[in-house]
Structures are given as C-alpha cells and as structure tokens.
Amino acid sequence: MEIVTNPYDLQTRASEWRCSGLRTALVPTMGYLHEGHLTLIDHGRKNADRLMVSLFVNPTQFGPGEDLDTYPRDAERDEALAREHGVDVLFTPTRDSMYAPDHATWVEVPSLAAGLCGVSRPTFFRGVATVVTKLLILAMPNIAMFGEKDYQQLTLIKRMVRDLMLPTEIVGMPIVREADGLALSSRNAYLTEAERAQAPQLYKGLAAAQDVVAGGERDIAAVRQYVESYYAKNLPLGELDYLEFVDPESLVPMTRADGPCRVAVALRLGKARLIDNLRIDPPSGRESEK
C-alpha cells in the first residue's frame, strides 16, 4: 500500500492507472474507520483493479461550534485496516494542500441541501460537495462508494456528479448496523453508557413508522406524531432535530405515504448528533386507500 499526501501525486497515479485501462475505485472517508467504511472498501476491492481510500477531516463541512477539533481520529489504526483490506493508495492530505489560503470556489446543489440536515447545518453540504468534487477530479475513479446512512449526502452527490458530467459512477451501499440496530458512525464514540443504551431506539422509531404505514396509515402527520411519541417515551435523553418523510429522489417533504418515501431523522444525544433513515414502501392494494 502506498500512502500519498500530495493531491497532485494522487492525480498522477490515478491518471496512469486509468489511461492503462485499469478500473479504479475510491472510498472517501474522514477516517476513524469502522465496519461501515470497511464494507465500502471491500466492495471497491471486489469491483476494481486499483482501490484508493481518502482520509481527510474536511474542515469546510464543519460549522461554528461543531466538533472539527475533537472529531475522532486514529491514523495508525486506519492505516492498518486499509492495508488489511487491500487498499492500493491511502490518500491523507493536509488542509493546506486541499484548500489554498485564498480558496474561493464552491460547489453547491441548493435544492437538495436546503432541507433535513441543511436546516441546522446550512454550510455543511457546500463543504461536502466541494471536497467530493475535488476528490473525484484528483482520483478520477470509475466508481466511488458512499453509505446510505448519509442519505441526503448520497442523493446530493449523485445529482452533482450527473449535473457536472463527472466520469464516475456513485455507488450507494446499505447502512451497516450494530446487532441492536444502531447505525455505525464514528461519532458513536461520543456516547456515554446511558446514551448508548437508548441509541438503538432511533432506528426502532423508524421501523415503527414503517409498521404504521404497513398497517394502512397514509397521513404523514399522523405517522410523524406516532414516532415522535415513541421517541419521547423510549429516547428521553435525546433532543430531536428533525423527523421528515421525503421523496426518495427530490427530498421534497411528503404529506401522504401513497408511494415510496424515505423517513429520515436526526437527534442529538449528549455530544453526539445521530442520523438515520429508512425507505418505506407502502403495500399496494385496498389497504393503501386509508
């Protein structure tokens, strides 16, 4: 495995591979790798001749007062895991190498960034879209893997790549969960013992929404009220940021669950801000007429 810190060295290596006809893959991460990341890496290893993984805590996606300085880091462990999982190039740039002092260019997808996490984190997706564009230009991968846990991010990146005609296929991978249902996240490390005990209720609330819809309820307001009551009872340590039911493609809020929708939630639990989501497909037939 080669460790590359200079962005233009990565670009040179990636260009050589692609011009040689090799199929390449990229997994962008902020490090502190967990099984969710490793699932993406393993998929890339199986579907490409050369695999690149980036470890970069991107400063432009953190807002004032957020956890940029305290974000979990373990470079030595990340490097060992990357070697173990067959990574060819581990890209570990510095902030200064990715952003010039007078950096002034941003990539934005306003229609997909405005809602959900964009309400409480208004500059987050600008930072994400910009750094991912930089990484895709540098690495020029045939495929790049992202997890569905960050569903809004995945949807936005797919649209951005389509609109900018970037020559990379964006592959969304299913959420990887603990045995009790909690979606894996680097920020889970912030949870205290008491908070960790309640955290699985986040996903169970989404599963409850799915059950209510499967039972025939189509009014989103009624489903939301049910889930909010569930969280109030079962996740008392949490502070709900949002609970939304949106169109899976446009992310526009829905008022009725008459077709496929994505229920998404963000909740603050101590120092951690947890997010999760679940696709809901109402059963067809007469029961859907309620």
239 marked ligand binding residue:
no
37 marked ligand binding residue:
yes
CA angle 234, 235, 236 (to 5 degrees): 105
Distance of CA 46 to the CA centre of its chain: 21
For 181, residues 6+ apart whose C-beta sits below 8 A from its C-beta are: 200, 203, 204, 207
187 marked ligand binding residue:
yes
66 marked ligand binding residue:
no
| R_g over Cα of the chain | 20
Q: Beta strand pairing status for 50-55 and 169-173?
A: unpaired
For residue 17, the 8-state DSSP code is H
33 marked ligand binding residue:
yes
81 marked ligand binding residue:
no
Alpha-carbon distance 263 to 254, whole Å? Answer: 10
111 marked ligand binding residue:
no
Tokens of 14: 């990636």
Contact 272, 195 (CB under 8 A): yes
185 marked ligand binding residue:
yes
30 marked ligand binding residue:
yes
With 0-12 / 13-18 / 19 or more C-beta atoms within 10 angstroms meaning exposed / middle / buried, residue 228 is: middle
* 3-state SS assignment for residue 283: coil
32 marked ligand binding residue:
yes
148 marked ligand binding residue:
yes
From 37, 43, 85, 103, active-site residue: 37
Q: Is-catalytic flag, 85?
A: no
Alpha-carbon distance 2 to 63, whole Å? Answer: 32
278 marked ligand binding residue:
no
Which residue numbers belong to the known binding site for beta-alanine? Answer: 61
Known binding-site residue numbers: 30-37, 61, 147-150, 153, 176, 184-187
The residues annotated with a catalytic role in the active site are: 37
Q: Which residues are annotated as a binding site for ATP?
A: 30-37, 147-150, 176, 184-187
Binding site, annotated residues for (R)-pantoate:
61, 153
